[in-house]
Structure 1
């Protein structure tokens, strides 16, 4: 990606400017921005910026979840605990329906000749 596309990714992620304003700042047309947004490379770059940002929020989010374990509300405590357990691989198993069939024994049935 070129420098203008990288700048567009940053500006879009910040969410302050409209697409028209981003195009004006980069001295490209709105159609150019639209075309960039259709390219997988551009989409991937935007997703990468979003992921990096969210990774930075992880410690704060974890502290918040930990604090919720001591909330006054039993429901809030339960939901926090359940969410933590789910995210760490301790999900309860899903209910599964099993159908059992028994074999039919026909050895004892007299056959008419």
Structure 2
């Protein structure tokens, strides 16, 4: 004969009997009137349903059920819905569905916004276009034999720092007459 495990704690939903669990499920999953709820959980009075909804056990069990359902069944339904929205007619709906899926997969930061993503795409496209133009110019200059000097706005420090050189420390102006 095995002893019950004392360290196992059931949540408020799991501790309920079958009728009460059914009641909680129906109030979360379906929008039924008290009359219909009473019939489904084997009760004769609608008032009992109102009393149950006001009780502490119901509120705790409802929260426990929602947490469990979101982790399981609702998560699957939500994912299926998002996948279906990827084929929506609206471009914005498709973008939001894709963004949500990427965030769920951990490949997109919460700091990213659709506008920021679009700006990053535009920037990447512009950089690719610039690289193509530079390659085309390089090909043309090689075929014509013309050497071109390309100026860059990349401000990188010189390898040599002029301030540490020995020698004349004047500022370059000649104040003495020769």
Taking structure 2 as the reference length, what is the TM-score of the superposition?
Answer: 0.37
Asked whether the 8 Å contact 1:85–1:91 carries over to 2, the reply is no
1:21 aligns with 2:36: yes
Q: Please report the RMSD computed on the Cα atoms of aligned residues, expressed in angstroms.
A: 3.5
1:90 aligns with 2:106: no
Higher share of residues assigned helix: 1
1:30 aligns with 2:46: yes
- Greater C-alpha Rg: 2
Aligned length: 93
Listed as ranges, the gaps of 5+ residues in structure 2 are: 1-15, 113-178
Asked whether the 8 Å contact 1:9–1:45 carries over to 2, the reply is yes
Q: How does 1:19-58 map to 2 (within 5 A)?
A: 19-24=34-39, 26-54=42-70, 55-58=72-75
1:80 to 80, 97, 103: 97
Q: Give the direction of change, closer, same or farther, for the CA distance of 1:15–1:65 in structure 2 (3 Å limit).
A: closer
Listed as ranges, the gaps of 5+ residues in structure 1 are: 94-113
Q: Give the direction of change, closer, same or farther, for the CA distance of 1:21–1:80 in structure 2 (3 Å limit).
A: closer
